[in-house]
Structure 1
Amino acid sequence: MTRLSLRLRNFLFFVLLGGGGVVLFCVALFAGYQKAAAGQVGSGFILSGAIGGFGLLGLSAGIWLLFDENVAKPIERLAAGLRTRAHAGAAGGMDASTAKYLGDLAPAAAAMSRQLTDTTLNTASLIASETARIAAERDRLTALLTEIPVATVLVNPAHQIVLYDGQAAAVLAQVHTPRLNAPIFDYFDRAAIETAWNKAAKQGKEQSFDAEGTEGAQCFALRMKPLEQGAGYLLIIDAAETHIPPEAARPLIYDFDLLEQRAGTRADATPLSDLTYVVFDTETTGLLPHKDEIVQIGAVRVVRGRIVPGEQVDTLVNPQMPIPPGSTKVHGITDAMVRDAPLIDSAARDFHRFARDAVIVAHNAPFDMAFMHRHGKRLGLDWSHPVLDTVLVSAVLFGASQTHTLDALCDRLGVTIPEALRHTAMGDAYATAEVLCKMLPMLKARGIVTFGDMLAETRKHGRLLEDLN
Structure 2
Amino acid sequence: MMQRIAARFSLRLRVFLFFALIGAGGLALGIGALVAAGWDAPAETRHALALWGGGAAAATLGLVVWVWLMFDEHVARPVERIGRAALAAAHGGAPGVDARSAAYLGPLGDGAAAAAGALAEARARTAAAVEAATEEAARRRRQLETVLRDLNHAVTLCTLEHRVLLYNARAAALLERCGVVGLGRSLLEVLAAQPIEHALESVRRRFEEGRWRDRPDGLSTPFVVATADGRMTLQGRLTLMPDPDQASASGYIVTFEDATGAHEARLRRDRALLQGLGEVEAALAEPGRAREALARVAAEAAALSAADWPKADVYSTTLWTSIIRRRTGAQNFSAEIVGEPCWLRCDSVGVVEMLDTLLNRLADALGVRAFSLSATPRRIGLVGPGGIAEARVTLRLGWRGPAAPQALLDGWLREPLDAAIGGATPAELLAAHLSRLETVDGPDAEAHALELALSGPSNAHLATPARAPARPEFYDFDLLDRPLAADAHPEAPLRALSYVVFDTETTGLEPARGDRIVQIAGVRIVNGRVLKGERFDELVNPGRRIPVAATRIHGVDNRMVAEAPPAAEVLRRFHAFCAGAVLVAHNAAFDMRFLAQEAPEGGPRFDHAVLDTVLLAAHLNGQDDSLTLDALAERFAVDLPAASRHTALGDSLATAEVFLRLVDMLEARGVATLGEAIAASRGPAAIRRRQAAY
Give 2:26's aligned residue: 21
Write out per-residue CA displacement over residues 128-178 of structure 1, whole angstroms, 9 at most, x where no aligned residue.
Answer: 433333322221221012212221111112221111112111112212343
Give 2:238's aligned residue: 224
Deviation of 1:75 after TM superposition, in Å, equals: 1.7
TM-score by length of 1: 0.85
Which is bigger in relative contact order (C-alpha 8 A, separation at least 6)? 1
Write out per-residue CA displacement over residues 20-75 of structure 1, whole angstroms, 9 at most, x where no aligned residue.
Answer: 93799389949x9699754797x999989988888877766665444433333222
**1:94-243 alignment, distance < 5 Å:** 94-204=97-207, 205-215=219-229, 217-228=231-242, 229-238=248-257
Q: CA–CA distance in 2 between the matches of 1:289 and 1:329?
A: 19
Give 1:254's aligned residue: 475
Give yes or no for the alignment of 1:313 onto 2:508: no
Q: CA–CA distance in 1 between the matches of 2:541 and 2:205?
A: 51
Give 1:7's aligned residue: none
Deviation of 1:110 after TM superposition, in Å, equals: 0.8
Give 1:383's aligned residue: 606
Alpha carbons of structure 1 residues 119 and 380: separation in structure 2 relative to 1, 3 Å: same
User: Where do 5+ consecutive residues of structure 2 fail to align?
Assistant: 1-14, 208-218, 243-247, 263-311, 313-458, 460-464
The correspondence for 2:583, drawn from 360, 364, 384, is 360
Write out per-residue CA displacement over residues 163-220 of structure 1, whole angstroms, 9 at most, x where no aligned residue.
Answer: 1112111112212343111121221123333343333433344343332222362222
Q: CA–CA distance in 2 between the matches of 1:53 and 1:397?
A: 39
Give 2:91's aligned residue: 87
* Kept after mapping to 2: 8 A contact 1:166/1:251: no
User: Where do 5+ consecutive residues of structure 1 fail to align?
Assistant: 1-9
Q: CA–CA distance in 2 between the matches of 1:312 and 1:305?
A: 16
Aligned residue for 2:490, secondary structure, equals: helix
Give 1:460's aligned residue: 683
Q: When you count helix as a share of all residues, which structure comes out higher?
A: 1
Give 1:409's aligned residue: 632
- Counterpart amino acid of 1:269? E
* Kept after mapping to 2: 8 A contact 1:395/1:404: yes
Between 378-387 and 349-358, the greater mean CA deviation after superposition:
378-387
Q: CA–CA distance in 1 between the matches of 2:69 and 2:576?
A: 50
Q: CA–CA distance in 1 between the matches of 2:507 and 2:649?
A: 17
Aligned residue for 2:174, secondary structure, equals: helix
* Kept after mapping to 2: 8 A contact 1:293/1:371: yes
Aligned residue for 1:211, secondary structure, equals: strand
Q: CA–CA distance in 1 between the matches of 2:626 and 2:261?
A: 51
Deviation of 1:84 after TM superposition, in Å, equals: 1.7
Alpha carbons of structure 1 residues 51 and 266: separation in structure 2 relative to 1, 3 Å: farther
Alpha carbons of structure 1 residues 94 and 252: separation in structure 2 relative to 1, 3 Å: closer
- Counterpart amino acid of 2:173? A
- Counterpart amino acid of 1:267? H
Deviation of 1:448 after TM superposition, in Å, equals: 1.6
Aligned residue for 1:381, secondary structure, equals: coil
Deviation of 1:227 after TM superposition, in Å, equals: 2.5
Give yes or no for the alignment of 1:272 onto 2:494: yes
Deviation of 1:369 after TM superposition, in Å, equals: 0.6
- Counterpart amino acid of 1:286? G
Write out per-residue CA displacement over residues 307-330 of structure 1, whole angstroms, 9 at most, x where no aligned residue.
Answer: 113100111111010001111111
* Kept after mapping to 2: 8 A contact 1:151/1:238: yes
Give 2:366's aligned residue: none
Give yes or no for the alignment of 1:451 onto 2:671: no
Q: RMSD in angstroms over aligned alpha carbons?
A: 3.7
Alpha carbons of structure 1 residues 22 and 397: separation in structure 2 relative to 1, 3 Å: closer
* Kept after mapping to 1: 8 A contact 2:224/2:234: yes
Aligned residue for 2:611, secondary structure, equals: strand
* Kept after mapping to 2: 8 A contact 1:167/1:239: no
Deviation of 1:436 after TM superposition, in Å, equals: 1.2
Give yes or no for the alignment of 1:426 onto 2:649: yes
Deviation of 1:17 after TM superposition, in Å, equals: 4.9
* Kept after mapping to 1: 8 A contact 2:192/2:225: yes
Alpha carbons of structure 1 residues 119 and 251: separation in structure 2 relative to 1, 3 Å: closer
- Counterpart amino acid of 2:75? V
Give 2:615's aligned residue: 392
Deviation of 1:430 after TM superposition, in Å, equals: 0.6
Alpha carbons of structure 1 residues 209 and 72: separation in structure 2 relative to 1, 3 Å: same
Q: CA–CA distance in 2 between the matches of 1:461 and 1:365?
A: 14
* Kept after mapping to 1: 8 A contact 2:233/2:258: no
Compare CA radii of gyration and give the structure with the larger one: 2
Aligned residue for 1:447, secondary structure, equals: coil
Alpha carbons of structure 1 residues 237 and 60: separation in structure 2 relative to 1, 3 Å: farther
Q: CA–CA distance in 2 between the matches of 1:446 and 1:457?
A: 11
* Kept after mapping to 2: 8 A contact 1:157/1:259: no
The correspondence for 1:436, drawn from 655, 659, 664, is 659
Between 447-456 and 309-318, the greater mean CA deviation after superposition:
447-456
Percent identical residues: 39
- Counterpart amino acid of 2:127? A
* Kept after mapping to 2: 8 A contact 1:24/1:52: no
* Kept after mapping to 2: 8 A contact 1:295/1:318: yes
